[in-house]
Amino acid sequence: MFQRKICGITSVQDAQAMIAAGADALGLNFYPQSKRFLSAEIAPDVRQAIPSEVAAVGLFVNADVVDVAAVAKKLSLDWVQLHGDEPPEYLARLRQLGAPPILKAFRCGPDWKVEIAQFLSRCGDLGCRPAAILIDGFQASAYGGTGKTADWNALVDWPQWLNCECLVLAGGLTPDNVSAAIAQVRPTAVDTASGVESEPGRKDLQLAASYCANVKIAMGE
């Protein structure tokens, strides 16, 4: 399992820079409405720039399940991140189609803990539990990448109520606050996009290096 994921890679240059900065997972965003959308024309070159020791994570939002499986296979993705409103049956179908491990994202919106519990219960019934859960900040008009922080206080006891072994904490994480977030939540991994950017879709090497260094220290490496 990775620890330091940086999402929203839009170029080969940014992929190489984020790897040099210390990221051990890179997110490739295939949601067309995102400012960090990675086109099908550029995606193969970006994927080729990611070495085997760094996880390549494809992010999708309410995409056609067959298309997701096809992209995952074509690009040899290590993870599929579902960041939309995909139901448990969607995960079951992805598994049938031979997709890689699934990272299911949830936002800290109204009744989010109940939503997660019901979702995972249904996944258990279908035999399609996600390999990891990602918790993001909430903004009603967006599916992520907003810079809004998640509810750290509500996640302090996540091992007791989140019926999943791996928690990825996202939402507004920066070099300045990631150490405090890890100290409070103790997640399995952390994920950022806007927190290490000079502008949406453009990564900043110095910010990313500082971020990854702080994560390593906070995680006890």
Per-residue model confidence as pLDDT tens digits over 159-218: 999 989 999 999 999 999 999 999 999 999 999 999 999 998 999 999 999 999 999 999
Binning the chain into helix, strand and coil, the percentages to the nearest 5 are: 40, 20, 45
Can you give the pLDDT at residue 109? 76
CB 2 within 8 A of CB 189: yes
- Residues of the chain with pLDDT > 70: what percent? 95
Q: How confident is the model at residue 110 (pLDDT cuts 50, 70, 90)?
A: confident
Q: Residue 100 pLDDT more than 90?
A: yes
Can you give the pLDDT at residue 146? 54
Q: Residue 140 pLDDT more than 60?
A: no
Q: What is the pTM (predicted TM-score) of this model?
A: 0.94
Q: Residue 77 pLDDT more than 90?
A: yes
Nearest partner of 103 among 209, 188, 17, 14, judged by Cα: 188
Domains detected in the chain:
4-218 (3.20.20.70)
Distance (Å, whole) CA 142 – CA 1: 27
Per-residue model confidence as pLDDT tens digits over 22-65: 999 999 999 999 999 999 999 999 999 999 999 999 999 999 99
CB 49 within 8 A of CB 18: no
User: Which of residues 179 and 139 earns the better pLDDT score?
Assistant: 179
Q: Residue 66 pLDDT more than 90?
A: yes
User: Which of residues 143 and 38 earns the better pLDDT score?
Assistant: 38
Return the bridge partners of 191, or none. Answer: 5
Most confident of 39-53, 98-112, 141-155: 39-53
C-alpha R_g of the chain = 16
Average pLDDT, the chain: 94
Of 4-8, 110-114, 131-135, 155-159, the range with the lowest mean pLDDT is 110-114
Q: How confident is the model at residue 148 (pLDDT cuts 50, 70, 90)?
A: confident
**Residue positions annotated with a catalytic role:** 7, 136
